[in-house]
Structure formats: structure tokens, C-alpha cells
Structure 1
Amino acid sequence: MNNLKQESLNKSRSYTACISASHRMLFDNIRTIFKHTWLYALLLALSMSMMSMFYIKALIGGGYSSSSFICLVVSLLLVVCFQVGYTSRVLMLLNCQTMMWNVKRYLRLILLYLCVSFAISAIQWILMYLVIGGTTSVPSDKMPVTMLLIACSSLFFACVLLPYVYVFMKYMMEPESKLSKLLFKVYKTGLRYWGFIFITLLLAFLCVAVCMFFVSIPMLVITMANTLSVMGVSYLGDSSGLPSYFDFLQYMIVAVSSFICLYINIFIIFVFYFMYGSIETREKERKDFLKMK
């Protein structure tokens, strides 16, 4: 695997320097990145487009027993599989490990993410149960309190788990690292740089969100048109005024928009990469300084 053209990783950078280095790395290596990832990105974009089409139909037109719901589940599984392959392929360009090595490690992170998400959801359900008094539905007078509770608890857990962005990147970049040892030991290091991680990711996600918004405008317009059509047919009994080729047109537009967005999203992975390098360098300098005392 060819290495990417990049600036030195082992360098202490500010949040703006991390973003600038990621931007240059993406555009300086766009041909190499495309060469090694286009098939994975294409398969993921096609499966995401398929999922978006069946989601509206399954949500409005038939429930769990409908064919649309079955197709939705199949497309969701395809999205997960191709997402693993796409992300592993991008990380492969950074750590120069084999594809299978990256897939195995990334799957472990996904499994850990699912376990943590389940635990957080369970805690939120328990808190909601205590607030609403054990009823099966949320009373209207307690709806604002319940929504505030969910929002505050989600924000709290997001803040607590933020340093794991550094932990997970370290796990993917260092072959000798063990996830069980990183979860708590390295988390303390990430916690020390919480502010740096937060402001870097905030700016990076804002940049990506703006770019993705403009790329996604055609997708949003055509998806909204299809949603209104399906609602009119299902609830009002209207005939669909959309042309026969509309489903194919929607599928292609969503696929193309998703394909472009996936390459914009690589910028975020590169920000993680340089943020990891900056924290590692600062920690080394910190330890060297303490030894000199």
C-alpha cells in the first residue's frame, strides 16, 4: 500500500493547524485515496440510497410485515457491512496495515460502541421511568421534563465519552495496543486534552456540515417530493403524480450525493489522525519536561 503525502504526524498542532493539515492531506492525495476506496464508497453509497428509498415506504406504508420493511432491513445490513469496509480502507491508507487487520479492529470498536449505546439507553429509560412514575406512556404534563432529561443526559454522556475519540484512533494506529488497556489508562490522557478535542471536532464538523449541505440539496429535494407523494397515496388516497422513472431518478441522485459526501467525510478521519498525532507529541514533551525537573 502506497503511503499518502502528508506533513509530519509527530508535531504539536493547534486545532486550526490540525484542520489545515487534514485539508491539505485530503486534496494532495485525492487521486490516491479515490483509487483505493472508490469501490467501497460506491457500494456504500448505493446501499445508502436503497435504504433511503425503502425507509419512507416502510415507515408509512405497511409496518413490520411489509416487503418494504424487509428490504429496509436488508439494505441496513448492507450499509453496515460496506461502512466497515469503507472506513477500514481509509484507515488502511493511514496505518499501512492489512485490510483484514483494520476490519477486525474496527468491528471491535463497533461492538464496543453498541454496548455503550445500549447501556446509555438503559440508563435513560430508567431515568424516564422514575420521572413519569412507572406509566407505559409519557403524560402530556411531563413531556417537557422528559425531553429535557433526555437532552441533558445525552449531552452529559457525549461530554464524558468525547476523549474516546483519541483512544479509538490510538487503537487503530498502533498495532501493539490493546483495547482493554486503552479504555481507562489512555482515557485519562484524552480527558486532559478534552478542550482541544472538543474545539477541533466542533470546527471540523461545522466545515463538513456546510459542504455536505450544499451537496445534499438535490437529494433533500427529491426525497421530500417522494415523501409527500407516498403520504398522499397512503393517507389521502390520491394518485401519485410522479413519473414512472422517479424512483430510479431518486436512487441515482441519492447515490451520487452520498458518494460525494463519503469523500467529504474522509476529512473528519484525517482530523482525528492529526489530532491523535498532536496529543501524542504533547504527551511526549510533557513527560520529557517532567523528567528534567
Structure 2
Amino acid sequence: MEEKKDVDLSFYKVRSYSSCLIKGFKLFADNLWTILKSTWTSILLFALCVAVCSFLYRPLARLVFTFADPSSLPYFPQMLFGILLVFLFVVATLASAFFGGQLTVLVRNYVQTGHLQYTGKGRLVKAAMEPSGKLLAFDFIFLIKVAVLSGVFHYFVGFAWWSWFWDVLLILAVFIPYTAFVVSHILDPKACKFSLTSIKDLYKSWGAWSAVFFVSGLFCALCAVFFSMPSFVLLFARSESFFMELGGDLTDLPAAFNVMQLLIVFLSSALSLFLFTTMYFSLLFMYGSLEKKKEEIALYEQEQQRLMQA
């Protein structure tokens, strides 16, 4: 009973936006090794797929800019080239979803015990399958929803210069409540049900979710760009070498450049994905704050009704 009290005080507590952000970043900083030990397989797989895709930049650029037959490329035959790109994209998507599933397992343990706990690789992989599948399904549903709403609007209005405002408003009006619903459902599937009441509550807390989401997301995006700057420089050098080759200069980059490109893109992708944990944890504490606030409002209303009846 005492353990439940400690958990309630540490997680289910009304917090300000800045407090949710600070708690999320602090939880990430205090448990770096536990998070890395639990998610390193999905991080490495995602980073490897991105690194290999960057290595395919040159044959892909040659295909796009020269309209060459992919079967004539020295790297891959036509069918294998397309299959490999699709395969890498699918594996990277699955790896990122599994990364989210592994984080969800850690978060659920944190809500119950008050601290992040490594449960073993076998048990963690088995427990992460369910939230990973839900994350993939939620992403697919969101893409279909946005595509349908945006497609219907542009079908009747067209693609005027001001029409992109609709796309921005659509993302703000749909994405933030949808993200809140996904986080709530992933953390507590039994308590979060899809209904008109839950949708109304999500839009009531739109400001809180959007504040935490955009601040933490902006931080993660800026860090991802910073980590990716060396990769951008190498890809720029790769593209310049390709265009010089089209101009008749057959001087190619040294073989060590390919190894350096693979390593740098691999590291930048791994760090970028790993750092997005801070946004997930910040949204986690916002969920706990809103749940505690709803509980206090419900208790206050019950007390008011009791006093009126007395």
C-alpha cells in the first residue's frame, strides 16, 4: 500500500508544462544505461537501415538524373535495387515502432513501480510486441485520415497558394489530440476508450498536449539536425562527386569515404532516434498530470454533490 502511495506521488501529480518537460528530461538522463540496454537492438537496426540507404544515394541519383536503366547500374540489378529500397524502408519502420514498444514497456513498469527497470531481453521483446503493433496501426490510421481529409479538401478547392494553411490546421486539429489518445491508450488501454466523451476531453487538453509536444519535439528535431550535419556534409560531397562525373571528371572519391559515410550516418541516426525518448517521457508526465487533474475534479464534484444533498 505504501508503494502505491509513492508511485502516485511521483507520477500521478498535477504539474506545469515546464515541470513535465523537466521530469521527462530528468528521467531520461537518470536512466540512460537502462534505456540503452533495453532498446539497443532496435536502435542499431534502424541506424543500419538508414546508413545503407545513404550508401545507395549514388546509384539512386544516377537513376533519377540520367534516367538510366537500373539494370545497367554496377551496384544492383533492376529488381534487386527496388526490392532492397523497399525492404530497408520497411525494416526501418518496424525497428522504430519496436523502439517505441520497448519504451512503452519501460514506461508501464515505471508507472507501476516508480522507476525504470530492465526486465531481461527475452521478456522485454515479448512484452514489446503488443505496443509496437499498436503504434504501427495508429500511424497507418493517422496517415489514412490525413490523406483523406486533405485529399477531399484539395479536390474541391485545388492547390492554391493559401491552401497549405488547411494542411497545417488539419495537422494541428487532428495530430495533437490523436497523439494524446495514442499515448493514453498505450499506457493504459483499459482506462482509455474511444468515445465522444474521450474525444471531448482530448480537445479540452489540446493546449497542454501541444505545448509539451512542440517544445520537446523542437528540441529533439534541433538535436537531430545537429547530429546529422556531418552526414549532410558527406552526402553533399557525394552529390558533388556525382555531378562532376556527369560533367566528364572521372575522379572518384576514395574508398575510405564510403566507410566513413556509413559510420557517421549510422551514429547520427542512432543518436537521433535515441534522443526522441525525451519527448516520449515528457508526454508521459503530461498524461499523469492530466489524469491526476481529472481525478481531483471528479472528487471535488462528488464532494459538492454530497454537501448539497446534506
Task: Give the 5 Å matches for 1:144-223.
Answer: 145=160, 147-149=161-163, 151-161=164-174, 162-177=176-191, 181-182=193-194, 184-223=196-235
Partner of 1:229: 241
TM-score, normalization by structure 2: 0.78
CA distance in 1, matches of 2:248, 2:130: 49
Partner of 2:75: none
**Contact kept in structure 1, 2:104 and 2:131, CA below 8 Å:** no
CA distance in 1, matches of 2:58, 2:197: 44
Partner of 1:268: 279
1:280 Cα offset (Å): 0.7
Distance change in 2, residues 1:184/1:226 (3 Å) = farther
Q: Deviations over 1:177-236 (max 9, x none)?
A: 46xx33644222121111111111121122223322322221121122112323443x53
Equivalent of 1:45 in 44, 47, 51: 47
Partner of 1:119: 145
Letter aligned with residue 215 of structure 2: L
Equivalent of 2:31 in 29, 32, 55: 29
Distance change in 2, residues 1:99/1:279 (3 Å) = farther
2:56 aligns to what SS in structure 1? helix
CA RMSD of aligned residues (A): 2.6
Distance change in 2, residues 1:265/1:7 (3 Å) = farther
**Contact kept in structure 2, 1:47 and 1:75, CA below 8 Å:** yes
CA distance in 2, matches of 1:291, 1:44: 50
CA distance in 1, matches of 2:105, 2:24: 16
Task: Give the 5 Å matches for 1:273-292.
Answer: 273-292=284-303
Structure 2, unaligned stretches of length 5 or more? 1-6, 71-77, 110-122, 305-310
2:255 aligns to what SS in structure 1? coil
Question: Which stretch shifts more, 30-39 or 264-273?
Answer: 30-39
Distance change in 2, residues 1:281/1:251 (3 Å) = same
**Contact kept in structure 2, 1:95 and 1:173, CA below 8 Å:** yes
Equivalent of 1:61 in 56, 63, 83: 63
Distance change in 2, residues 1:60/1:70 (3 Å) = farther
Partner of 1:14: 16
Q: Give the ranges of 4+ consecutive aligned residues of structure 1 lying more than 6 Å apart after TM superposition.
A: none
**How many percent identity over aligned positions?**
22
CA distance in 2, matches of 1:119, 1:231: 40
Partner of 2:105: 92
**Contact kept in structure 2, 1:18 and 1:274, CA below 8 Å:** yes
Equivalent of 2:155 in 129, 140, 149: 129
Structure 1, unaligned stretches of length 5 or more? 133-142
CA distance in 1, matches of 2:135, 2:61: 30
1:126 Cα offset (Å): 3.5
Partner of 1:139: none
**Contact kept in structure 1, 2:42 and 2:99, CA below 8 Å:** yes
Letter aligned with residue 142 of structure 2: V
1:90 Cα offset (Å): 1.4
**Contact kept in structure 2, 1:204 and 1:268, CA below 8 Å:** yes
Distance change in 2, residues 1:257/1:183 (3 Å) = farther
1:55 Cα offset (Å): 4.8
CA distance in 2, matches of 1:177, 1:102: 19
CA distance in 1, matches of 2:97, 2:58: 25
- Paired residues, number: 273
1:274 Cα offset (Å): 0.7
**Contact kept in structure 2, 1:7 and 1:21, CA below 8 Å:** no
TM-score, normalization by structure 1: 0.83
